[in-house]
Amino acid sequence: MSAPPGLAKGPTMQPLSDLLVLDFSTLLPGPLASLFLAEAGARIIRIERPEGEDMRRFPPRLGETSAPFAALNRGKTSLAIDLKAPDAVERLRHLIEKADILIEQFRPGVMARLGFGFEAMRAVNPRLIYCSISGYGQEGPRAFEAGHDINYQAIGGLLGQSLKRGEPAPLPPTLVADIAGGAMPAVLNILLALRERDRSGQGCHLDIAMTDAMPTFAWYGLAQGQASGRYPQGGEGLLTGGSPRYGLYATADGWFLAVGALEEKFWAIFSAAIGLDEALRDDRRQEEATRAAVAALVGAQPAEHWRGLLEPLDCCCTVVRTLEEALADPQLTARGLLDRQAEEPGGRRIVSTPLPLAPVFRDAAPALRKVPAVGDETL
């Protein structure tokens, strides 16, 4: 039986296979953005210092490079050049003339001082899409401030959504600003710019500020505050600790159960399964008492008990997986997320960073691609 048209096998040619990208970025946001483009077929040339970019030295080592660098840079090449050299712009001119996209991640003004600013590059190639990724953007009172992911989450109001005053604060495990505020908006806006270039014939300058996306993740709190006149404080929001139906509960063996039983049908199944007193199931009447009772019941049994009891009931309750356990989950295998491998210059292989590309595009990418050695691309 053939697959429906919407589920047909993807194209053998990838959608970005005719594009050249010059990636001047380092560390995570820019290289992850160019990995998305590479997996969709674009040719990526990393522009690196003669000694290579900083991520190449991040532990742990994987053969001749580092595992984090390998996980982000399969299918790319590397051109080593000192951007401060007087002839750097001239040496790269032939690439700039034919490039479609340039990605950079310096602080505002650095590329211009080096001779590679947007206006200078547009003079060489008017069709160039020039993407700048920074913490706070190219303009504004914080534009020149240093920062890392945790700072952007803090300034942008995202961290404060789930922190309660006076209580211990867990460190967020996800680099939300780098990935969802830097890399993914860069890819989205690059694709929009390509669509606009199809119509106008002109490139543009994309100003991607990682902090700009932080209020996006606080969308519910923004809506609540504007409608009620009072913004939810840390831990008060429906999805940030304010409801016993949505949260993490410790199990008897020191692990955690993730409860997301927001809808009444799921909450009813969950409450019955754990044996919650009927008088406490209307959590709107006595929220804290309900939360305390749920915590006591969940805390009386180990994680495996709840895995076996609750997960088959399909009530949005899941035992938290470690990363190692998550990689063994059959869903990841079925979706092919771990199929793409990166081979470092010495021959060792690692699973490349899984990307949420639609299978119709992801499946057209080669399963194995090499990670560039410093300077494997020649001028």
Active site residues: 148, 178
Which tokens go with 26? 């380092």
H-only helix segments in the chain: 29-39, 67-72, 88-98, 110-113, 118-124, 149-155, 176-178, 184-200, 214-217, 219-228, 264-274, 287-298, 303-310, 323-327, 330-335, 359-362
Distance of alpha carbon 346 from alpha carbon 32, whole angstroms? 22
- Maximum Cα–Cα distance across the chain: 77
Phi, psi angle pair for 300, to nearest 5°: -90, -10
Do the Cβ atoms of 27 and 58 come closer than 8 Å? no
Give the sign of the dihedral formed by CA 27, CA 31, CA 35, CA 38: negative
Which tokens go with 138? 């190219």
**Which amino acid is located at 265 in the chain?**
K
Do the Cβ atoms of 25 and 2 come closer than 8 Å? no
Rg of the Cα atoms in the chain: 24
Using alpha carbons, select from 43, 6, 40 the residue that is nearest to residue 23. Answer: 43
The Cβ of residue 166 has, within 10 Å, a number of other Cβ atoms equal to: 5
Using alpha carbons, select from 74, 76, 80, 72 the residue that is nearest to residue 53. Answer: 80
What order of strands is seen across the sheet that includes strand 341-343? 349-351, 341-343, 368-370
Distance of alpha carbon 183 from alpha carbon 178, whole angstroms? 6
Do the Cβ atoms of 64 and 344 come closer than 8 Å? yes
Do the Cβ atoms of 318 and 345 come closer than 8 Å? no
Which tokens go with 289? 């008492």
